[in-house]
Homo-oligomer: A and B are copies of this chain.
């Protein structure tokens, strides 16, 4: 399992992903699920992946043109004119990888599936996010649905629904995401620290912040411990149930 969130604010985009990958509880390790293509002044494109690790690694390798010699590579993701075209490229590549794994004439089995969040901005266009399905089609973020989650989305969703505001600061958004990830990590062994974090500020065409939050990160510990206390206080302040 995996947990990734991509979130659109009025002034930018924030991405967070965990790094745990596992095949059963007795076989887990750490792997990056967040990948960035940056051409300062022209574009920043961030991709986060969930699902079959062979599928997602193949997807990223193909996007990076690792099938070509290093000297001949010119990743097409860097040549797309719009984020919509980037989403189409990622979607069709993903579909192709899954179809390859599933074998000829055979619909993709659940086992090879993967989902992807793609976000960023290309000069001349607006910053945006896409959620790409294993079938290769995709949806775009809207004001009504301003964030996407992939992987183990349920535990961490209620706090996002309640806490998200389009005008949150980056610092507060990171706090909100840490609470959402902490709730998920506490409930599902297959989601784990460290976390990867990335912040993009509208029209900057460069990554504003990139960080790896390790298990011993002091701020994460503060949030994790403080949140339990804060929740209990919040509960305490709601009126008590009275028998009717």
Residues of chain A at the chain B interface (Cβ within 8 Å): 154-159, 161-163, 169-172, 174-176, 178-179, 183, 186-187, 209, 211, 219, 222-223, 226-228, 230-244
A154 partner residues in chain B, CB cutoff 8 A = 154-155, 187
Nearest-Cβ distance from residue A16 to partner chain B, whole angstroms: 11
- Rounded to whole angstroms, the CA-CA distance of A92 and B97 in the bound complex is 46
Instruction: Give the complex CA separation of A162 and B182 in angstroms.
Output: 11
A241 touches B158 (CB 8 A): no
The minimal Cβ–Cβ distance linking A206 to chain B, given in whole angstroms, is 15
Which residue in chain B gives the minimum CB-CB distance to A232? B163
- Is there contact, CB below 8 Å, between A240 and B175? yes
B183 in contact with A158 (CB, 8 Å)? yes
Contact check: which of B176, B219, B236 meets A242 at CB < 8 Å?
A: B219
Residue of B nearest to A158 (CB): B183
The prevalent SS among residues of A at the interface is helix
In the complex, the answer to whether A241 meets B186 with C-beta atoms within 8 Å is no
Q: Which residues of B contact A178 (CB under 8 A)?
A: 241
8 further A-B contacts with Cβ under 8 Å, apart from A172-B240, A219-B241, A230-B234, are A161-B186, A161-B187, A162-B227, A163-B235, A171-B240, A219-B242, A219-B244, A223-B238
- Which residues of chain B are within 8 angstroms of A161 by Cβ–Cβ distance? 186-187
Q: In the complex, how many angstroms separate the beta carbon of A194 from the nearest chain B beta carbon? A: 13
Give A172 to B232 CA distance when docked, in angstroms. Answer: 11
Query: How far, in angstroms, from A8 to B239 measured CA to CA in the complex?
Result: 22
Chain B residues closer than 8 Å to A171, beta-carbon distance: 240-242
Which 3 A-B pairs give the minimum distances between C-beta atoms?
Answer: A154-B154, A230-B234, A158-B183
CB within 8 Å for A235 and B158 given contacts A219-B241, A219-B242, A241-B219: no
Known A-B contacts A154-B155, A154-B187, A244-B211; A238 and B232 likewise in contact (beta carbons under 8 Å): no
Q: Which of B162, B187, B227 contacts A157 (CB 8 A)?
A: B187
Contact of A235 among B179, B186, B240 (CB under 8 A): B179
23 A-B pairs whose Cβ atoms sit less than 8 Å apart in the complex:
A154-B154, A154-B155, A155-B155, A155-B158, A157-B187, A158-B158, A158-B159, A158-B183, A159-B231, A162-B227, A162-B228, A162-B231, A162-B232, A163-B232, A163-B235, A172-B241, A179-B235, A219-B239, A219-B241, A223-B238, A226-B239, A230-B235, A230-B238
